Structure 1
């Protein structure tokens, strides 16, 4: 089964197929499909800042902004909020050898981060994986307020990051195209790894300043995506019963210790 699933992943991740899908989704030819896309994935179009008829292509609808107040930001002083709408695939401890175990597969934090000077500080810390489905709001926001101390990108083509991709793919969290940001908040570091997924491999950053407020937009995904959050050891306490549940951007997902 693993062989056939990986074969399917390799086939559908073909460079030229990805380009064709990108061309179609960003062209006016895709506009007639917006309504059926919204219906198929049960998207709440009442939250959208624009009406369906105002979007010029499927891609524009996918990266839609929401009406003001649609995602209230938890304002408790030490709270960490979800940076995206999504499904909490996993929460756990980063092992001493800097690996995480997800869906029975080991992912290397060292490989995902790709920066030897950075990854060591997260030994024994907490990781959280949030998967965004096609129905979700795909703008990314900061989980904390603080200073953006570094940003970098890694990886090439991408495999699926849903539960099947995590279980049978070629270590997608560690190998997929990804853009990583590190924010320092009250002396603690929080890493936000924005991981691209199947077909359209684009992660666009919209925040250009070196400081950021909790809940402020920092970028968006163009189709298929996952966010991995990393917290230093002893710095973060996640909310109970988050794993295997849906969250909304701005919802409290835990607290940073002072």
Structure 2
């Protein structure tokens, strides 16, 4: 099948109603029978799951599972910025005058990604990480640092795949897909957690009740099927970990960088 045909088929299946149909099926009690096969197919470490497989009511219930306490230790250093998810690092680096460069060969602008938010100016020379969650991964999203939620925004959009094909063959899918953005104010500045919807993701959901104050590692939201988180730091507020590179796997709670406190920046 040629690339043009694959792109055309992806365009046809990227409508929200397709994802809603997939979501209804995954939430059906009938989908329980697929859980063991799904776990085996994607080699999911079921010993980490909070409950035995037989106690999950649907495939979606299993997919959005919590883990046993202690399964994801969170870096305890006071200045740590940690990964909010288990993921593959698709891209990371310096934001250069509002541009996120070379994400699978494509450049993105903050204007597109953050939908012309008035907060864009704060991030024009910060840092970014693009974190891709495959079906194998744990799909709950946690706070990368302690702080206060100062704004949440829903940006409507499509649901293109955010896997390697989607990011390379389709045009700038991270800024065209549906997104939920959480802005978190910490002691030295602000971060943006951009949760990007994808093909067959029936929804991105915040945990309820939605927290206003967050501790590092606290649950924030979750994906229903695989997707991507783009993490952004405000200018001059973070020193990234030098040995985290595209192609690396990271776990929730693992340090991505060090935040600069208000006292350090004086």
Q: TM-score range by the shorter chain?
A: over 0.9
Offset, 1:123: 0.8
In the alignment, structure 1 segments of 5+ residues that lack a partner are none
SS in 2 for 1:135: coil
Alignment of 1:8-23 (within 5 A): 8-23=9-24
Aligned residue pairs total: 258
Is 1:238–2:254 an aligned residue pair? no
Q: Which runs of 4+ in 1 moved over 3 A?
A: 14-17, 97-100
Offset, 1:164: 1.7
- What's 2:119 paired with? 118
SS in 1 for 2:23: helix
Deviates more, 1:227-236 or 1:2-11: 2-11
Q: Distance in 1 between matches of 2:91 and 2:99?
A: 16
Offset, 1:232: 1.6
SS in 1 for 2:113: helix
- What's 1:256 paired with? 259
SS in 2 for 1:117: coil
**Structure 2 length normalisation: TM-score?**
0.92
Offset, 1:127: 0.7
Offset, 1:112: 1.2
Offset, 1:125: 1.1
Deviates more, 1:101-110 or 1:2-11: 2-11
Q: Distance in 2 between matches of 1:213 and 1:15?
A: 33
Offset, 1:16: 4.3
Q: In 2 relative to 1, CA 129–34 (structure 1 residues): closer, same or farther, beyond 3 Å?
A: same
- What's 1:6 paired with? 7
Q: Distance in 1 between matches of 2:117 and 2:24?
A: 37
Alignment of 1:163-174 (within 5 A): 163-174=164-175
In the alignment, structure 2 segments of 5+ residues that lack a partner are 262-266
Q: Distance in 2 between matches of 1:23 and 1:208?
A: 24
Q: Distance in 2 between matches of 1:204 and 1:109?
A: 23
- What's 2:220 paired with? 218
1:47-82 alpha-carbon deviations (Å, 9 max, x no partner): 001110001110000000100010111100101111
Q: Distance in 1 between matches of 2:75 and 2:49?
A: 21
Structure 1 vs Structure 2 CA RMSD: 1.5
Q: Distance in 2 between matches of 1:255 and 1:249?
A: 16
- What's 1:228 paired with? 230
Q: In 2 relative to 1, CA 116–13 (structure 1 residues): closer, same or farther, beyond 3 Å?
A: closer
**Structure 1 length normalisation: TM-score?**
0.95
Q: In 2 relative to 1, CA 97–218 (structure 1 residues): closer, same or farther, beyond 3 Å?
A: closer
SS in 1 for 2:118: helix
Offset, 1:168: 1.3
Q: In 2 relative to 1, CA 4–106 (structure 1 residues): closer, same or farther, beyond 3 Å?
A: farther
Offset, 1:201: 3.5
- What's 2:197 paired with? 196
SS in 2 for 1:197: coil
- What's 1:159 paired with? 160
Q: Distance in 1 between matches of 2:260 and 2:104?
A: 29
